[in-house]
Amino acid sequence: MIRRLTIFGVGLIGGSLALALRQAGTCQEVVGCSRSEGHLRQAVELGVIDRYSLDPAEAVAGADMVVLAVPLGAMGGVCESIRDHLDPEAAITDVGSAKGSVVDAVREGFGEMPHGFVPGHPIAGTERSGVAAAFPTLFQGRRVILTPLETTDIGALAKVRTMWEETGAVVESMSVAHHDEVLAATSHLPHLLAFGLVDSLARMGERDEIFRYAAGGFRDFTRIASSDPVMWRDICLSNREAILSVIARYQDDLNMITRAISQGDGDRLLEIFQRAKAARDRFCE
Ligand code: NAP
């Protein structure tokens, strides 16, 4: 289906996509491009890509599918570097965790919105990064959200959808704004809470003792605080308004729990905890 796939940023997400598509036999050739030759050479050695170029113009030449899998803050620069070299018939998509900022960056980088651009976001990942962390089954059974624009070419949309389905993902569509609101609540807020909690504990005087006695619950709750700090800084700055709005709502709810504890209101605590347990049990089923 894809003759030449060019991936900008062959890390966890870009590398896993390449592996999944190669395993499915969907691509004739996969070309990688990023800043470090060492990382790209490693990607060839691991069998993730066929070849690479450090020159974005050369990397994108002849590509019929282009995937932007770089950090959010780097999307605009990559677009600017390929604007005069991208085949006008090529489909181009991204994997960024916030969509409004990527749409703005793509429009700015290209000088106008390319018709072949289909914003996308795989709801899959781990706390690890880099090509060595990539694996072909990362997207299997996971959701991929596409947020097509009014300008998006219907053929490009179909091609990007099929590409993700080939990885075993379930593809859904929604608006850019809705995506950013939903992800602020379900992904961005939990990551902020994990980073914030671990940082807060780490700065306490008794931190050695706290971490010595931390057990499974602490490990479960804070796993995502091992995620890439640069990526999460970019996400916070890129989806600022939606994140601020869910933080405000969460702060109100935390105040309610604080009040219940200080007033010794066990009924209130039980009501909150039972509602939360039922919701999580349903989610896990
Ligand atoms: P990653 O493993 O760190 O990979 C990012 C890659 O981008 C690296 O291989 C890096 O290679 C390259 N890169 C960085 N800056 C660049 C630049 N200015 N120009 C060209 N290449 C550049 O990160 P990731 O987890 O795959 O995340 C990539 C994207 O996926 C992000 O936009 C993120 O929002 C999105 N995403 C992540 C997850 C997740 O759980 N990790 C989930 C869904 C979506 P060099 O060092 O060689 O340049």
102 vs 215 pLDDT, higher one: 102
Ligand 1, atom 21, lies closest to the CA of 34
What is the pLDDT at residue 206?
A: 82
Residues 211-239 have a mean pLDDT of: 92
Q: What would the two tokens of residue 27 be?
A: 């691509």
| 231 within ligand 1 shell (Cβ under 6 A) | yes
User: Tokens 């049990």 — which residue?
Assistant: 281
- What is the distance of C-alpha 265 from the center of its chain? 40
- Tens of pLDDT, residues 57-111: 999 999 999 999 999 999 999 999 999 999 999 999 999 999 999 999 999 999 9
Q: Is the whole model's pTM more than 0.85, yes or no?
A: yes
What is the band of 250 on the pLDDT scale with cuts at 50, 70, 90?
Answer: very high
Ligand 1 atom closest to residue 133's alpha carbon, by position in its atom list: 2
- What is the distance of C-alpha 257 from the center of its chain? 31
What is the band of 205 on the pLDDT scale with cuts at 50, 70, 90?
Answer: confident
3-state secondary structure of 244: helix
Ligand 1, atom 31, lies closest to the CA of 71
User: Is 30 a residue whose pLDDT tops 90?
Assistant: yes
Residues 218-245 have a mean pLDDT of: 94
Residue 174: closest CA among 246, 123, 233, 138: 123
What is the pLDDT at residue 212?
A: 87
| 97 within ligand 1 shell (Cβ under 6 A) | yes
Using alpha carbons, list the distances in angstroms from residue 136 to 23, 48, 125, 226: 7, 9, 12, 22
- Tens of pLDDT, residues 64-78: 999 999 999 999 999
Going along the chain from its start, the domains and CATH numbers come out as 2-174 (3.40.50.720), 178-284 (1.10.3660.10)
